[in-house]
Structure 1
Amino acid sequence: MSTPTDAADPGTEADRRVRPGEPARAANIRDVARRAGVSHQTVSRVLNGHPSLRAETRDRVLAAMAELSFRPNRAARALVTSRSTTIGVLVGKGFEYGPAASLQAIDSAAREAGYAVDIAHLDDLDGGSIRSALDRLLAHGVDGLVILAPQTQTLGEIERLSITLPFVTVHSAQAQDDHRLSVDQSGGAALATRHLLELGHRRIAHIAGPEGWFETEARVRGYRGEMEAWGRSPEVLRSGDWTAESGYRAGRSLAADREITAVFSSNDQMALGLLHAFREGGRRVPEDVSVVGFDDVPEAAHYCPPLTTVRQDFPELGRRCMARLLALIGSVGTDAAGEAGAAPDVVPELVVRASTAAPAA
C-alpha cells in the first residue's frame, strides 16, 4: 500500500483555506499526516511516544507539526491514552523563595515533557486540609502528583496517607524513600560552615530557619556536624522566620558579641537583615564579621556587600522531579516502579562573594 504524500494530496492547504474575515482553521492530525507523508495512526504514535517508530519517521512528523503550528488536543489525547497529561502539585503553606523556585522549575520541566500543571495550595498543615487539597487534584484527573510541602508536619501527614497515584515529594522525612527528591540541604550547610572554618573563624553562629521546616532541620544538622568535625562548639542563636526582619533582630543581638566573627544564615533574606543590623551596630562585613547565606536568591549578588551563599540548582530539581514522576506514571501496572530506587540528592554549590574573609588578627 502506498503512503500518502504532499504531492498526492495537493488540496492539503486548500482544505484549510477560509473566506476573508474568517479565522484560519487549526491544523489537525490528518493535516500533519498528509504533510509528513504518513498515516494518521503514525502521527498518533508519535504523540504518544510509541517506542517502535524509526527516528527518521518521528523527525518527519515533528517537522510537519512545527510547519503547521499543530497543537494536540489534550482532551482527545486523554480519550485515546486514558491519561490527562496533567500533573498535580500540592503546595505547602509558607511559600518562600526555595519552594517558589522549585515550583517554577517543576512547571518548566512539565511543559517540556508535554504536561500541564494543576496547583492546589494548602490552607493549613492539618490532615483535613491536606486530604481536601488532594481530593481537588484527584477530581481533576491528574496522572501524578508532586508534593511540594517542605514542612515536616505536612510530610508526616502525606506519609500516613495511602496515595495510590504515582507521586514524588520534594524533601522527605525518610532518607531512603523511592518517591523523594531533594537538594542536599545538610551538605550545603556543611559547605557554608566549612568555608568559614577554612578562613580561620572559630566562633561561628548560626541563624536557623523556623521550626517544623525540613530545610531548617537539615541545615542545622549540616552546621552542627561540620563544627563538631573541626572540634568547635556549635552556637545556634535562635530561629528566624525566613524574613529579613527576623535576621535583623538576630543581628542586633549578635552585633554586641565581639567574640562572634562569622555567621551562617539559613537563608539569604535573613542574611540581608544581618547585614543591616551589623552596619547599624558598627561591625563591618567582612572586616569584622563574615556572613554566609543559603539559596542564592537573584538579589544576593547585589547585597552590600555581595553575599557569599549556597546555590541550589532548582532547574535540575524540577527536571529530576518530572523524570522520576514520568517513570512512575509509565510503570503503573508493572513491577518497574521501584527498580530505580531512591533518587540521589541534587548537589548544592558554594558561591563565594565579598561578604566573607579571614578574621581580623
Structure 2
Amino acid sequence: MTRQAGRGESSAAPRSVDVARLAGVSQKTVSRVLNGERYVSDEARRRVLEAAGELGYRLNNAARALASGRTRSIGVVTLGTALYGPASLLMGIERAARDTGYALRVVNTLEGDPGGIAGAVESLLEQGVDGIVISEPIDEGKVSIHVDVPVLVLGAPPAFAGPRVVTAGVGADLLAQAATEHLLELGHVTVHHLAGPRRWFAARDRLDGWRAALAAHGRDEPPVAEGDWSAASGYAAGRRLACDGDVTAVFAANDDMAIGLIRALAEAGRRVPDDVSVVGFDDIPVATYVTPPLTTVRQPFDAVAQAGLKQLVHAIEDPNADPLLTSDPPVELVVRASTAPPPPRTTPGRGRRTTTPPLA
C-alpha cells in the first residue's frame, strides 16, 4: 500500500539537519559553510552547497542573526534621482552585493533636505544593518552623524564618527583631466568647461580635473559655464558659447549637457568637430548614436562598487584587521567623432588662413 503524505508533510521546508544527512557531514559543518566561515574543506563545502541546492534549503536569516548578532544586511543611503550617474552607481552596488551574501536595504534622500542623510542613517541603524554605504552626491551642508557599524563612503563624506569609515570613488577628477588633455593634445589652445551644479561633489571633481589639466599645460582658464546636468541646460549654454569665435573646444561635465550643447552649436552654424570639438562625461548608452557620435569618458561604476563593498564587508567581518589596499580605477577615454584638431585660424591683415601651432 502506498502511504500518502499527511497534511503539511509534502510542503515541509528542509532543515539544516536534512542538508547534513544528504551531504554526509555534521550539522556544524553545514552551519559553517552556509555562514561563510573558514576551516571547511573545499570538498565538504561543495557537498553541502550541492545538497542545499538539491533540497531547496534556504538559510533562516532571522535565526542566523540571533546566533551571530548580525543581520547579514547592508544599508544604502542614496539620492532619489533618475540621473545616470547616481542611478548607475546604485545598480553597481546592487550587482556587487549579490557576491557578498549580504542583502541591501536602500533609503532614498531628497535634494535640498539637510536632515535627509542623518534621518536615512538612523532609519537603517534601527533596522539593524551590519554596515552602511553612503552614496550621496550633493553637499547638503555640515552633517554630523555617529554610527556604530562600518561605513563605506562613495564620494565626499559627511562628518562621521564610527568604528571604521572606508572610502571609494570613481576618480572623476582624473577622468576630467584625461578628457581635457585629449582636447589639448589635438592642438586646441585652451578648453572651455560646461560644469554641473556646484553643490554636487561630482561637478566639483570634474571642475578640478579640468583646471589641473589646463594648469599642467600652461593654458589660460576661460570662464566656466554652468548647467544643471540636463540637455536643456547644455543647449542654453551652447547658444552663448556659439557666439564666441574663440571657442574651439568644450569639455561638458556630463553627456546630456554635451548633447544639448552640440544641438545649439549646430543651429548657430558651428560644426562639430570641424569648428568646435566637444567631449562629454559618463558614456551614456545614447552617446554612440547621436550626430556626431560623442567622445566621452566612461565611469567605472561596477569596479568602484565591487571594490568598495569588498572593503566594507572586510571591515564588518574582521573589525580588527587592517583596511584593504585599493587603487584608482583605470581611466577609459572613448574617442568618437565629436573631437578633432582645431580649425585653421585667420591671420589678421593677411587675408589667408594659417594654422596656429599648439602651445608647449
Q: How does the TM-score come out when normalised to structure 1?
A: 0.87
Matched, 1:347 2:330: yes
Distance 2:243 2:112 in 1: 38
The AA in structure 2 aligned to 1:360 is P
User: How much has 1:340 moved relative to structure 2?
Assistant: 2.4
User: How much has 1:153 moved relative to structure 2?
Assistant: 3.3
Corresponding residue number in structure 2 for 1:6: none
Corresponding residue number in structure 1 for 2:355: none
The AA in structure 2 aligned to 1:171 is G
Corresponding residue number in structure 1 for 2:147: 163
Corresponding residue number in structure 2 for 1:67: 54
- Contact in 2 for aligned 1:18/1:25 (Cα 8 Å): no
1:144 to 111, 114, 131: 131
Q: Deviations over 1:301-350 (max 9, x none)?
A: 11211111111111111111210110110133x3x2xx226743323311
Cα distance change on mapping 1:18 and 1:147 into 2, 3 Å? farther
Distance 1:360 1:21 in 2: 80
Matched, 1:92 2:79: yes
1:295 aligned counterpart, secondary structure: coil
- Contact in 2 for aligned 1:199/1:358 (Cα 8 Å): yes
1:293 to 249, 274, 280: 280
1:161 aligned counterpart, secondary structure: strand
Matched, 1:196 2:180: no
User: How much has 1:90 moved relative to structure 2?
Assistant: 0.6
Alignment of 1:91-240 (within 5 A): 91-92=78-79, 96-153=83-140, 156-157=142-143, 160-172=144-156, 179-240=166-227
The AA in structure 1 aligned to 2:227 is G
Distance 1:95 1:147 in 2: 17
Distance 2:14 2:272 in 1: 61
- Contact in 1 for aligned 2:233/2:257 (Cα 8 Å): yes
Distance 1:199 1:229 in 2: 16
Distance 1:184 1:238 in 2: 22
The AA in structure 2 aligned to 1:73 is N
Q: Deviations over 1:284-303 (max 9, x none)?
A: 11111111011111221112
Distance 2:69 2:226 in 1: 48
Structure 2 stretches of 5 or more lacking a match?
A: 159-163, 345-360
User: How much has 1:134 moved relative to structure 2?
Assistant: 1.4
User: How much has 1:281 moved relative to structure 2?
Assistant: 1.2
Q: Deviations over 1:224-265 (max 9, x none)?
A: 111121121122432111111110100111112221111100
- Contact in 1 for aligned 2:250/2:276 (Cα 8 Å): yes
Structure 1 stretches of 5 or more lacking a match?
A: 1-13
- Contact in 2 for aligned 1:93/1:125 (Cα 8 Å): no
Cα distance change on mapping 1:342 and 1:201 into 2, 3 Å? same
* Cα RMSD, aligned residues only: 2.4
Higher helix share: 1
Distance 1:48 1:358 in 2: 58
Q: How does the TM-score come out when normalised to structure 2?
A: 0.87
